[in-house]
Copies of this chain bind each other. A is one copy, B any other.
Amino acid sequence: MPTSTEFSLAEAIAVLTRTPATLNALLRGLPNTWVRGNEGKDTWTAFDIVGHLIVGERTDWIPRVRIIMANGEARPFDPFDRFAQFKETEDKSLERLLDDFTRLRGENLAALQTLNLQPEDLARRGKHPALGVVTLSELLATWAVHDLTHLHQLSRVMAHQYRDAVGPWLAYLGVLRCDGHSAP
């Protein structure tokens, strides 16, 4: 493994800014085969994944940034509910979820900008309820990589729907050999 790069706020924001448009381009208007298919019992659909990203925007990333800035390690983050989307997305369309995610992400990136974080802020420490001490830069890096882990999962869940349809090409398509390490 080569050395991976150091965190840069501008680089993280570059990824975070693009995710809503990426999901819109990939998912909006797709047939239900791709949107409502999962990988079997207790796995997520593309619809569920977008719902999960919405919950993160509401309860995870910026709220945790604020806790670090206000309280440091003194106040642990609230635990994140990784299953809240199943209740919250009932009776909504994928298009509605995509719109909600786009709006919330925009609001959260605006909130981040308002905080006007300085380089020294990035080393501030907070307390994760399970992982222990983390830094603000680790939280922000994770926000961006969390988008990527769910893009990874989305591509795998969608590909799974054509697992049989590709016939002998199964042997060449790595996404169909992914064991679901990024599944919930």
A residues in contact (CB < 8 Å) with B: 1-8, 10-12, 14-15, 18, 21-22, 24-26, 29-31, 33-34, 37-41, 128, 131-132, 134-135, 137-139, 141-142, 144-146, 148-149, 151-156, 158-169, 171-178, 180-183
Name the B residues within 8 Å of A30 (CB-CB). Answer: 14-15, 18
Query: Which residues of chain B are within 8 angstroms of A25 by Cβ–Cβ distance?
Result: 18, 21-22, 24-25
Chain B residues closer than 8 Å to A175, beta-carbon distance: 145, 148-149, 152-153, 182
Alpha-carbon distance A8/B165, docked complex (angstroms) = 9
A160 cross-chain contacts in B, Cβ below 8 A: 1, 4
| Contact of A152 with B174 at beta-carbon distance under 8 Å, contacts A4-B160, A33-B11 already known | yes
Once the chains bind, are A181 and B171 in contact (CB under 8 Å)?
Answer: no
Identical copies in the complex = 2
Which B-chain residue is minimally distant from A158 (CB atoms)?
B148
Question: What are 13 A-B pairs at a CB distance below 8 A?
Answer: A2-B40, A6-B165, A11-B33, A18-B25, A25-B25, A128-B168, A131-B169, A134-B169, A142-B173, A148-B155, A149-B173, A149-B176, A152-B175
Query: Is the pair B4, A161 in contact by a Cβ cutoff of 8 Å?
Result: yes
Q: Are the C-beta atoms of A4 and B162 separated by less than 8 Å?
A: yes
A-B complex: 9 closest residue pairs judged by Cβ atoms: A174-B182, A138-B167, A141-B165, A21-B25, A149-B175, A7-B165, A152-B155, A142-B169, A4-B163
